[in-house]
Amino acid sequence: MQRTTELFKSEVFFQNDLHLLVNRYSENFHAPFHAHEFIEYCYVAEGRGFHHLENEIFPVRKGMLFVIPVGAPHVFRPASSDTLGNRLIVYNCLFDMQMVEQLNIVLQEPSIREHLATLGSSSSSYFSVSDRGGSIERLMLNLYHEMSVSGMGSKTMLYTLLSQLIIAVYRQKYGEDDKSTMDMADFTQVIQYLEHNLSEKITLAELARISQWSSRHLQRMFHKHTGQSFGTYLKNLRMHKSCELLRTSGHKINMIAELVGYRDIDSFNAVFKKIVGQTPIAYRKLYRS
């Protein structure tokens, strides 16, 4: 049975000269399956649910962004009807080809111009990217804020932010060299997370969940950028921090062990002696004599 598709027209959504709309929408079971006369970037900000897109159904979660070209029918649905406990929040950035014509003054690369032209001609397929580092979410939130406040310079800021969003998504989808750069930037955040949370019990599985990489890919990143496995790097990082605290603080050794993630003092002493070559007491005496 053919599914009924409602057409969303541009004049209903763009009631200003910007030809742009950014909204925050709590998805429900009432919105119709629809296509539209404009391009749409949909960012999943909260919750879980499903994206019915043409003839496919995709489970969705926070951090997923879908690029919907002109004419592609779709609708989001929350995971359940419990709207209080299981809300699915999506930020939508809508713009039409008149906005694209204005952006082409700023967008210098022919490949990006062609990409937008294809999205606006019904000859392109939808696609999605994952926002691992939070950069896409920040752009979408800033777009929503500027759209809402409409203050001094907001129009210029909206052009700028939309250009940045288009480029960031394009790079993640198509740019191999840029993907490597983005991976390195995201991996730096992983290292910073370790440094700031040494007192916690950190596992590879938990780090994979936070970074939204698989455990296997995360291990590859550690070998590539540190020359060590995750476990070895974390152990060495903890011992490096231990040495710093032994030299510069008056904390007792059992407190230092806890601060770097060891709950058992014997295990801490054994690892410290194996890596540093002497006990924590002997190491501290070198800097207190």
Question: Can you tell me the mean pLDDT for 72-90?
Answer: 83
Q: Work out the average pLDDT over 109-132.
A: 87
At residue 170 the predicted structure's pLDDT band, cuts being 50, 70 and 90, is very high
Q: Residue 25: which H helix or E strand, with range?
A: strand 20-26
Q: What is the pTM of this model?
A: 0.62
User: What percentage of residues in the chain have a pLDDT greater than 70?
Assistant: 92
In the sheet that holds 34-36, the strands lie side by side as 6-8, 34-36, 74-78, 49-53, 56-60
> If phi over 0 gives left and psi between -120 and 50 gives alpha, with beta otherwise, what is residue 150?
left
Position 2 scores a pLDDT of 57
The secondary structure element, H or E, covering residue 88 is none
* Structure confidence at residue 1 (pLDDT): 44
Six-digit token pair at 161?
């932010």
> How does pLDDT run across 134-169, given as a tens digit for each residue?
889 999 999 999 998 877 888 899 999 999 999 999
For the cut 80, the answer to whether the pLDDT of residue 212 exceeds it is no
Contact criterion met (CB below 8 Å) for 53 and 66: yes
Of 82-86, 131-135, 180-184, 230-234, which one has max mean pLDDT?
A: 230-234
H/E stretch holding 19 = none
> What is the model's pLDDT at position 177?
46
Are 47 and 78 a contacting pair, CB within 8 Å? yes
Cβ pair 10, 37 in contact under 8 A: yes
- From CA 157, how far away is CA 284, in angstroms rounded? 55
Q: Is 122 left (phi over 0), alpha (psi -120 to 50) or beta?
A: left
pLDDT, mean of residues 73-99? 86
- Alpha-helical runs (H) found in 132-277: 135-149, 154-174, 176-196, 204-211, 215-226, 230-248, 253-259, 265-276
